[in-house]
Amino acid sequence: MGFAFKNSGIAASVFLVLYTIYTAFTIKVVYDKGWRSIYTSLLIFGIFRVCGQFSGVAFAALGYEHYQWLIAYLVFTAEGYFVLILSSFHLLAKAQVDVFGYSWIRPTRKQREEQRKNATNWRQKLHASLPPSTVFHALLIPANAFIISGGSMLTGQGIDNIDQNKLHTSKALRTVGQIVFLAQTLMAILLAVYVYFKEGLRHHNVYAIFLVAPFLLVRGIFGIMSIYVNEMNYYDMRNYSEDGLKPKFVVFEYVLAATMEFIAGSIYISLYYFDKTKKNENGDILVEEETEDRKEAV
C-alpha cells in the first residue's frame, strides 16, 4: 500500500498488526472466561484500538482530503483509553470480591438495597445510593461524550481551513474530557494504594494496576498536551510537510499514546494466567456475584 503520509502510515500499520494480535488473543480469553468477565472490557478496548489504527492507516493512505479518517482515529483512540480506565476500576473491585467476598467500591444491587434499609445516617444513605462505582461512571460517561463531540464537531472542516470558533470549542470540550479521564485514572490508582495498605488487599489485580499506573498516567497527560502543544497537535499544519506528518510528531503520537495503551492492555490481559479461583479460610470458593452492574464494566 502506498501512503500519502509515509511516516504515520508505517507506524499505524505496525500498531494495527500489534492490536490485531492482542484482540485475537483476547477473543480466546473471553471465550474461555465468558463474556460477563472483566476480560470482555479488554476485548472492547482491543476492538476500539484496531478500529482506531485502521482509521490511522486510512488517513495516512488517503491524505488531507479524507480528514474524516483522522476524526475517527482520534475518537476511537480516546474510547480505548476510556475502557482501560474502567477496566482498572473493575479489576480493583473484582480483587476485593475474590479476597473478601464483598466490594464496597462496586457493591451488587442486592447489597446496595440492604445498605439502604440498614442506613441510620445521611452518610450511610449517600454511600448506599452513590457508591464509588456509580460516581466513577457518572463522571467518565459525560467526559467521554465531551471528547467525542469535541473531535466530531470538526467534521466537515478542511484541515487547512478550520473554523476557529469551532476549533476553540472543540479544544475546550476535549480538554475537559481529558482532564476528567486523567483525574479518574489517578483515582483508580489511589484506590489501589488505599486498599493495598489500609485493607491489606493482596491480589494480582492490584499489582497489575500498580504496574500499569505509569503508562496510563503518561497516556492521560499526553491526551491533554496533544490539544495545546503544537508539536503534538494533529490540527497544527506545522506538523505536516510535503511528505505528510513529520517524524517528530509521529514519535510523540505512537510512543506516548499507542505504546502506552498497548503495554497497559497487555499487562491487564496477562492476568488471565493468574486469575485462579480464590478460596476463603474455610476452603469455600469465593465466587463474584454477577449483576447488572457487570454491564457497566465495558
pLDDT digits (tens, 9 = 90+) for 138-152: 888 899 889 888 877
Question: What pLDDT, on a 0 to 100 scale, did the predictor assign at position 160?
Answer: 57
Nearest to 293 by CA among 94, 88, 29: 94
Question: What pLDDT, on a 0 to 100 scale, did the predictor assign at position 224?
Answer: 93
3-state DSSP assignment of residue 176: helix
Nearest to 294 by CA among 85, 107, 81, 135: 107
Mean per-residue pLDDT over the chain, rounded: 84
The proportion of the chain whose per-residue pLDDT surpasses 70, expressed as a percent, equals: 85
Cα distance between residue 220 and residue 130, in whole Å: 26
Buried b (16+ CB within 10 A) or exposed e, 48-60: bbbbbbbbbbbbb
pLDDT digits (tens, 9 = 90+) for 86-100: 999 999 999 999 999
What cell does 94 get?
Answer: 473484582
3-state DSSP assignment of residue 1: coil
Task: Residue 130: give the domain boundaries.
Answer: 6-297
Q: What is the mean pLDDT of residues 45-59?
A: 95
Question: What pLDDT, on a 0 to 100 scale, did the predictor assign at position 287?
Answer: 37
Q: What is the mean pLDDT of residues 236-263?
A: 88
Give bridge partners of residue 158 from the DSSP assignment: 161
CATH number of the CATH domain containing 290: 1.20.1070
Residue 146 lies in a domain: yes
Contact 277, 271 (CB under 8 A): no
Q: What is the mean pLDDT of residues 213-222?
A: 96
Residue 207 lies in a domain: yes
Cα distance between residue 33 and residue 263, in whole Å: 22
Cα distance between residue 280 and residue 183, in whole Å: 34
The proportion of the chain whose per-residue pLDDT surpasses 90, expressed as a percent, equals: 48
3-state DSSP assignment of residue 244: strand
Residue 248 lies in a domain: yes
Contact 261, 219 (CB under 8 A): yes
Q: What is the mean pLDDT of residues 44-61?
A: 95
Residue 283 lies in a domain: yes
Nearest to 234 by CA among 144, 171, 166: 171
CA-to-CA dists, residue 79 to 49, 73, 86, 219, angstroms: 8, 10, 11, 13
Q: What is the mean pLDDT of residues 170-176?
A: 90
Residue 17 lies in a domain: yes
What cell does 7 get?
Answer: 511516516
Question: What pLDDT, on a 0 to 100 scale, did the predictor assign at position 46?
Answer: 97
Question: What pLDDT, on a 0 to 100 scale, did the predictor assign at position 289?
Answer: 40
Residue 1 lies in a domain: no
Nearest to 178 by CA among 255, 247, 106, 233: 233
- How many alpha carbons fall within 13 Å on the CB side of residue 231? 6
Residue 60 lies in a domain: yes
Cα distance between residue 47 and residue 269, in whole Å: 14
Contact 185, 222 (CB under 8 A): no
Please tell me the least confidently modeled range out of 8-22, 46-60, 67-81, 268-282.
268-282
Output phi, psi for 17, to 5 deg. -65, -45
Q: What is the mean pLDDT of residues 53-69?
A: 88
Residue 251 lies in a domain: yes
C-alpha Rg value of the chain to the nearest Å: 21
Nearest to 41 by CA among 59, 19, 23, 55: 23
- CB count in 10 Å sphere of residue 218: 18
Q: In total, how many domains does the chain have? A: 1
